[in-house]
Homo-oligomer: A and B are copies of this chain.
Amino acid sequence: MIRIVGLNGSLRPGSHSKQALQLALGNAKRLGASVELLDLQVLRLPFCNGGDVYPEYPDVEYLKSTVREADGLILATPEYHGSVSGVLKNALDLMGFEELSGKVTAAISILGGQSNSNALNDLRIITRWVHAWMIPEQVAIGQAWKAFDAEGNITDPKLAGRLEELAKSLVDTARRLRSETEAIAS
């Protein structure tokens, strides 16, 4: 079974990043994947000091082992100052090739103003640096304050459909790329 882990890079109470991530993970689950949401609001993580060991922060090991054992990742971030949140980047800094290399990855960004791709672009380059795979599908949700209803669902069916495509591509690609079987010979 394909295991998908979602990482929520927003600490805001009522975070729309978390809502979008839950929707995407729900889509992946319906496609047969097992899913887990790692909420940086709940994990107690230190600022990365460039080292590997943080004995006072057992959640670092939990983060690392959970991601290491996953087949695919969904990264959700608010776009702050035209880039990924420091909170999410710091969590990625705490990990390295051992956790992230070869991982199939999808990204979602949340903006207060109009939609834009900066944080998604940054995540694409960042994940490449640790040799993860980012799928072409990506979702930026602009004017997030009016994009969700009271139940945390996305009101625009087109946008909701894009979160479904994101999950479908992620699960399908993880199956293809991470299969232990030999690639089909040409």
Contact of A117 among B86, B116, B127, B179 (CB under 8 A): B116
Contact of A80 among B33, B93, B122, B136 (CB under 8 A): B93
Contact B114 A47 (CB under 8 A): no
Query: Is A124's CB within 8 Å of the partner chain B?
Result: yes
Chain A contact residues, majority secondary structure:
loop
Contact B136 A132 (CB under 8 A): yes
Query: Is A6's CB within 8 Å of the partner chain B?
Result: no
- Copies of this subunit: 4
Given contacts A1-B186, A136-B133, contact A83 B125 (CB under 8 A): yes
A residues with a Cβ closer than 8 A to B are 1-2, 10-13, 32-33, 40, 47-51, 78, 80-93, 114-118, 121-122, 124-138, 172-173, 175-177, 179, 181, 183-186
- The 8 A-B residue pairs with the shortest CB-CB distance, nearest first, are A86-B90, A82-B129, A86-B89, A11-B49, A12-B50, A175-B183, A131-B136, A1-B186
